[in-house]
Amino acid sequence: MTQFSANLGFLWAELALPDAIHAAKAAGFDAVECHWPYDVPARLVKAALEETGLTILGLNTRRGDLEAGENGLAALPDRVAQARAAIDEALAYAGAIDARCIHVMAGYATGPEAHDTFIANLRYACDGARENGVTILIEPLNRYDAPGYFLTSTDQAQAIIAEVDAPNLALMFDCYHVQLMEGDLSHRLADLMPLIGHIQIASVPDRGAPDHGEVNYAHIFRVLSDLGYGAPLGAEYKPGGPTAQTLGWMAAARSEWVET
């Protein structure tokens, strides 16, 4: 049976994070993940995880100055100190809640200097994460939702992972972003599977529940099964209303999985 992780940056976003963890457990999710939990004391998140028995798969580094529209710091040549402070903060928080992965956000930047800065900051993150067995993730974002973001394609991510050459650096393969930028999800998943550390799902193009739109997720789930991928898939979609009313896709996916 396929497993699913609730991304609590989008699902049950109206609840306090510990309450959202309990809601995810009650709804039948196998794990959780989040975006920026830093305003919530880690001990409260840890307690909710222990009470529910859920694993938290990952979290993001801070975006930076939100009023200035920043969306990550790791590729910004003039923000290295702040980027590394954000990485340190994420490592400490992940350690306190036993999170498995940290998504290091690149930010809005372009050019060779941004590339070199991103490489150096990723090496810093991987070195810091290695001792605790944490995986560092990088995620290409689509140019419609995040115009100007440094990392936009899986080819670019693959080249960066090869250049950093760290065993704990992996690709966050978000089907929503990859479909918008590249399409051909089945082949991209097969080709990139050795580099993938986490997979996320949402409908395309509206980023709603993964039960409509241009991606046939029943097919994608079968592809992942054939590829031997068994980790929970991150449901990172915008529910557009009460989350509980959007979860029919999960029951249907599990039913089909059992039947096949």
Supply the residues annotated as catalytic: 139, 236
Pairing verdict, β 135-138 and 169-174: parallel
H/E stretch holding 194: none
Burial of 225: CB neighbours in 10 Å, binned 0-12, 13-18, 19+:
middle
- Rounded to whole angstroms, the Cα distance separating 148 from 150 reads 6
Residue type, position 226, single letter: D
How wide is the angle at C-alpha 21 spanned by C-alphas 1 and 208, nearest 5°? Answer: 65
Contact 195, 161 (CB under 8 A): yes
